[in-house]
Amino acid sequence: MPEQQNIEYKSSWHDDYLKWICGFANAQGGQIYIGKDDEAHSSCNV
């Protein structure tokens, strides 16, 4: 599943991702996958 307007892949957690959560909450919602990389969507060590 590729990244879209409401799907984000992040390899690790950073506090600035709280902005993404607020953005999703103010829009149509969304999903953030922590521990997945953007390129292959494979699992990363978290």
Q: What mean pLDDT, rounded, does the chain reach?
A: 78
CA atoms of 30 and 46, how far apart (whole Å)? 21
pLDDT of residue 4 exceeding 50, the answer is yes
30 band by pLDDT with thresholds 50, 70 and 90: confident
Q: Which whole number is the average pLDDT over 39-43? A: 59
pLDDT of residue 46 exceeding 50, the answer is no
Q: Which whole number is the average pLDDT over 18-39? A: 83
43 band by pLDDT with thresholds 50, 70 and 90: low
For the residues of 1-46, what is the DSSP string, one character each?
---BTTEEEESS--GGGHHHHHHHHHTT--EEEETB-TTT--B---
Residues shown for the chain: 46
What are the sequence ranges of the domains in the chain?
1-46
